[in-house]
Amino acid sequence: MALEQIFSLAFTAFMIGFSGALVPGPVFVAVVSQATKKGLIAGPMAVAGHATLETVTAILLWFGLGIFLESSRIRSVIGILGGGFLIWSGFQLLRFARRASIQDSVQQANAAIVRHNPIVVGLVTSAINPYYYLWWATVGNDLMFRGFEIAGFIGIVVFLVSHWMADLSWFTFISASIHRGKRLITDKVYRTILGLCAIFLLGIGVMFLLDSAPYLFSQL
């Protein structure tokens, strides 16, 4: 188990997770809506609900991981699908970054329902998001496998914790900003961060493809 590989896995998982968290989606809406009522704690609580669902998902994937360990072809297919999905996400993020406005996203999210517990809202909003299942079927699955290859069960834990820290850092920042009534980051800074994350996703997507495609094509 090389520490360099562990750090690389942690950084990759964090950046991919952070890139996804930046784009306003169901969990973002939940955090903004809950922050007006629950305050600073809304972000971490919504992430806890989201992480609960991801833990269940990871456990289900773990029980099926043996199939992928025995088949390099299936592993390569998942790697290609994951790489393709990351590249698609990168281009979508670049398009979104051109006119993204953090202020507009927050104002639109304020219309959401705030009656329920933030943990429940975080879990439910994740469960009803089709993007969630597509991500875990491709990118999440592939990163779990890479983590297992690097350090066994510890590698999977490193991937999950790093992924959750990305969500926790962004959504805690959002809920804290709303709770304190302060202006969020400027749109220019927000767009720059989005653009950098998009480039990172494109690079990782290409890496996934280059890593997986040669083996698959050699078996055809």
Q: Cα–chain-centroid distance for residue 149?
A: 21
DSSP-derived secondary structure letter, 39 = G
Six token digits for residue 89: 């996400």
- Give the chain's mean pLDDT: 81
Alpha-helical regions (H) of the chain: 3-22, 26-38, 42-70, 72-99, 102-109, 118-127, 130-135, 141-151, 153-180, 187-218
pLDDT for residue 108: 61
Note whether 184 and 103 are within 8 A (CB).
yes
Distance of alpha carbon 190 from alpha carbon 123, whole angstroms: 26
List, in order, residues 6 or more apart from 64 with CB less than 8 Å away: none
pLDDT at 155 over 90: yes
What's the alpha-carbon Rg for the chain, to the nearest Å? Answer: 18
pLDDT for residue 106: 65
The pTM assigned to this predicted structure is 0.80
Residues 143-170 have a mean pLDDT of 92
pLDDT for residue 198: 86
Buried b (16+ CB within 10 A) or exposed e, 103-116: eebbeebeebebee
pLDDT for residue 121: 80
pLDDT at 72 over 80: no
Higher pLDDT, 84 or 115: 84
Higher pLDDT, 66 or 167: 167
pLDDT for residue 112: 47
> Cα angle vertex 31, ends 28, 34, to 5°?
145
pLDDT at 114 over 80: no
Residues 123-144 have a mean pLDDT of 85
Residues 177-204 have a mean pLDDT of 80
Percentage, residues of the chain above pLDDT 90: 21
